[in-house]
Amino acid sequence: MRTLVVVDAANVVGSVPDGWWHDRRGAAERLRDRLVAYADEGIAGHPGPLDIVLVVEGAARGVASVPGVRVDSAPGSGDDHIVEVAAEAADRPCVVVTADRELRRRVAASGAECVGPRTVRP
């Protein structure tokens, strides 16, 4: 069964002060493009292939999906949407990429594993 990896775009992009705030959508697109390799290669402890969902919110809404990475534009709170996606995956391995402590607590309730942003960032 393929592992689902749900990426908190705002948290991962915000983990590196590289000027992302000047172009939030562009930063989310760059993250999406970097995630494509992980769909085939996997991440630590979870060999590929993986199903990857990048959850975007706010100014990053509308970023398109690409082969290997599905992009979900959260209709409201990105955290709430991530919790919903993780809960829907309760029947398979699910990893949420975020450093947000409250979000980690919330997704753990559905059995999701959590890893930090460095898992998918250089």
Asked if residue 4 has pLDDT above 90, the reply is yes
pTM for this predicted structure: 0.95
Q: Within a 13 Å sphere around the CA of 74, how many CA atoms are in the beta-carbon half?
A: 23
The residue ranges of DSSP E strands in the chain, in sequence order, are 4-8, 42-43, 46-47, 51-56, 69-73, 94-97, 113-115
Backbone angles phi, psi at 97, to 5 degrees: -100, 110
What's the CA gap between 6 and 42, in Å, rounded?
13
pLDDT mean over 70-78: 96
pLDDT, one tens digit per residue, over 81-97 is: 999 999 999 899 999 99
Q: How confident is the model at residue 1 (pLDDT cuts 50, 70, 90)?
A: confident
